Structure 1
Amino acid sequence: MMTGKREVGEQGLPKIPQEAFDWYDEYAHGDIDRRTFLQRLGTLGIAGLGIAAVSRGLMPNYALAEQVSFNDPDIKASYIEFDAPQGHGRARGYLVVPAGVTAESRAPAVLVAHENRGLNPYIKDVARRLAKAGYVALAPDALFSLGGYPGNDDEGRAMQRELDRGKIEGDFAAAARLLKQHEFSTGKVGMVGFCFGGYLTNQLSALLPDVIDAGAPYYGTPPQADIANIKAPLQLHFAELDKRVNGYWPDYEAALKQAKVDYTAYIYPGVNHGFHNDSTARYEEKSAELAWSRTLEFFAQQLQS
């Protein structure tokens, strides 16, 4: 199904050991603190790389995460605010529309759900990629009620942990309903999300079966809502080395089968959680491009027919 494994040391630097990726995943999801993460890195003794270099290699570099410029003439990007009565009252999102789309020449819509750290540059770029592909894309920021994404992931993670998950879901549910009725939208709404956003994609597919028409969760945990409510087809993407998320998959798959949900799941060999995020060392280009091409094909089949 997939081509080879990720080699991190492709510029002549020593390869970062798998343990470092595993510990970073624990750190990124709040299972260990930064001090513990750095202490563990110090036990590796990687020849040619100090703790700071390994840490920098694992942290995101958002200068790398722009595939579509906000100045691209094929898209129009802006920020919008909207009511979210089941969320934080008011919500804000990054709306990106294909340049040629009007109320007369409408397009399908896709809701983009970020990771556990707010609306960072990588997720905004994903929204631009979708608009470039012909979709009305909206990427809400769960941190809006706290002032918005703070500019770095460490603070963003800490802020998002302060928020009630149900209210975050309410903000994104309001965004999904907005897209369903948006003047530029055909009324067909897909959803794609990464990490926590993958969970949100699963969750909203179950909570809003009459709104979400197709869901593409990337390394997301199962919904807490009733799986039997899901009507939308799902295309699920998993990383082979992502033990934490993959541990949920057998039971989730069994529930999807029992509910007769139309789903396809892909497990990408030799890659880590976050392999689609091109701002970190976890990025694996071939796997990311294949997964994204599958996602675009899936949305074309489900939303444009």
Structure 2
Amino acid sequence: MKDKTQQPSPEIPNQAYQLYDKYAHGMLSRRDFFSAMASLTVNAALATTFINSMLPNYALAQQVSFNDAGILASYQKFASPQGYGEGRGYLVKPKNATAALPTVLVIHENRGLNPYIEDVARRLAKAGFIAFAPDALWPLGGYPGNDDEGRTMQRSLEPTKIVADLKAAALWLKQLEGGSGKLGVVGFCFGGAITGRLAAELPEVVDAGVPFYGSPPPVDSIANIKAPLLVQLGELDERVNAMWPAAEELFKRHKLDYKIEFYPASHHGFHNDSTARYNKDMADLAWQRTLAFFQQHLS
């Protein structure tokens, strides 16, 4: 079995990760990515090896089996009248729960509900939460089975309707039978940005938020946030980290309950254990903090 801690060759400079981040977020074409890699004196073969190492291997990402005896998993639909009309997501509950449980909305990256995000939902259920991971791509038939196509599909959707669908998912989950009425939100990349946005735009709904390496909420909405936030950032994630100092000033000005954690030697996407950006030690630490944060604020 492949070592989950395996990293790309040390010949790859850190700047290559920043270039890949831009490529993955549609800021660079594949051709421009390779041209920029060449400027770093990375040859074409090594650049190809690097970009291939960034492609997900979802066999590595399964920490909790989909048929684990301790969980109940299903796909559920919800109404979204302000969005695309109907949403769908992956609902996971602890099996044989004897009391109402806190709920956590899990928001995916910019490519739809892939197996890594489904596994995150299962991890939350194993920790005692009811987790729901909506798929923003459901209006187009759902996650297509590969991330590149998923990114293209997500870019084709109307952003305001995507947000409306995710708000509808939060409201649906908040009122779910068997839930305690407490709602946490955790998101990654695109989902990290949406986590903060939901906290700002649904302040009476969101009780705690954990954004992983996402952009901050819009500045004109930060004052609305009531939920405590735990912001998880990779130390080497230059693009996203550059956005946070100005936002943090507003967090302080409005006396928000928040903490920002930086994870050493970690790139954008360091929690995603399906790609070579994964940093196991830091991902484990960030996840331990996430669970403790939700246990504290959703109990």
What range describes the TM-score normalised by the shorter chain of this pair? over 0.9
Q: 1:72 & 1:295 partners in 2: Cα distance?
A: 22
1:88 aligns with 2:84: yes
1:53-132 superposed matches below 5 A: 53-101=49-97, 105-132=99-126
Q: 1:169 aligns with which of 163, 169, 190?
A: 163
1:195 aligns with 2:194: no
What residue is the counterpart of 2:129 in the other structure? 135
Q: How many residues align?
A: 294
Structure 2 regions of 5+ residues with no counterpart? Answer: none
Q: 1:51 & 1:270 partners in 2: Cα distance?
A: 21
Q: Using a 3 Å threshold, how does the CA distance of structure 1 residues 15 and 73 change in structure 2: closer, same or farther?
A: farther
Whether the 8 Å contact between 1:8 and 1:16 is mirrored in structure 2 is: no
Whether the 8 Å contact between 1:113 and 1:198 is mirrored in structure 2 is: yes
1:24 aligns with 2:20: yes
What residue is the counterpart of 1:303 in the other structure? 298
C-alpha RMSD over aligned residues = 1.8
What residue is the counterpart of 2:260 in the other structure? 265
Whether the 8 Å contact between 1:14 and 1:48 is mirrored in structure 2 is: no
Q: 1:127 & 1:206 partners in 2: Cα distance?
A: 23
Q: 1:240 & 1:92 partners in 2: Cα distance?
A: 34
Query: Any idea what SS the aligned residue of 1:279 has?
Result: coil
Query: Any idea what SS the aligned residue of 2:88 has?
Result: strand
Give the TM-score, by structure 2 length: 0.94
Structure 1 regions of 5+ residues with no counterpart? Answer: 1-5
Q: After TM superposition, give the deviation of residue 7 of structure 1 in Å.
A: 7.8
Equivalent AA in structure 1 for residue 65 of structure 2? S
Q: 1:275 & 1:138 partners in 2: Cα distance?
A: 22
Q: After TM superposition, give the deviation of residue 241 of structure 1 in Å.
A: 1.1
1:283-294 superposed matches below 5 A: 283-294=278-289
Q: After TM superposition, give the deviation of residue 50 of structure 1 in Å.
A: 3.4
String of CA shifts for 1:80-111, please: whole Å, max 9, x gaps: 1110112111000000111122xx62110000
String of CA shifts for 1:60-81, please: whole Å, max 9, x gaps: 2112111001010011111011
Deviates further, 257-266 or 47-56: 47-56
Equivalent AA in structure 2 for residue 125 of structure 1? D
What residue is the counterpart of 2:180 in the other structure? 186
Equivalent AA in structure 2 for residue 8 of structure 1? Q
Q: 1:132 & 1:49 partners in 2: Cα distance?
A: 42
String of CA shifts for 1:110-145, please: whole Å, max 9, x gaps: 000001111111111100100110110000000100
**Structure 1: 4+ residue segments shifted above 6 A:** none
1:222 aligns with 2:216: yes
Whether the 8 Å contact between 1:7 and 1:15 is mirrored in structure 2 is: no
What residue is the counterpart of 1:52 in the other structure? 48
Whether the 8 Å contact between 2:18 and 2:239 is mirrored in structure 1 is: no
Deviates further, 161-170 or 130-139: 161-170
Q: After TM superposition, give the deviation of residue 54 of structure 1 in Å.
A: 1.8
Q: Using a 3 Å threshold, how does the CA distance of structure 1 residues 285 and 193 change in structure 2: closer, same or farther?
A: same
Equivalent AA in structure 2 for residue 252 of structure 1? A
String of CA shifts for 1:243-301, please: whole Å, max 9, x gaps: 11111111110111111110011011221100001011111011100000000000000
Whether the 8 Å contact between 1:193 and 1:218 is mirrored in structure 2 is: yes
String of CA shifts for 1:210-230, please: whole Å, max 9, x gaps: 110000000111112611111
Give the TM-score, by structure 1 length: 0.92
Whether the 8 Å contact between 1:14 and 1:46 is mirrored in structure 2 is: no
Equivalent AA in structure 1 for residue 184 of structure 2? G
Q: 1:255 & 1:44 partners in 2: Cα distance?
A: 37
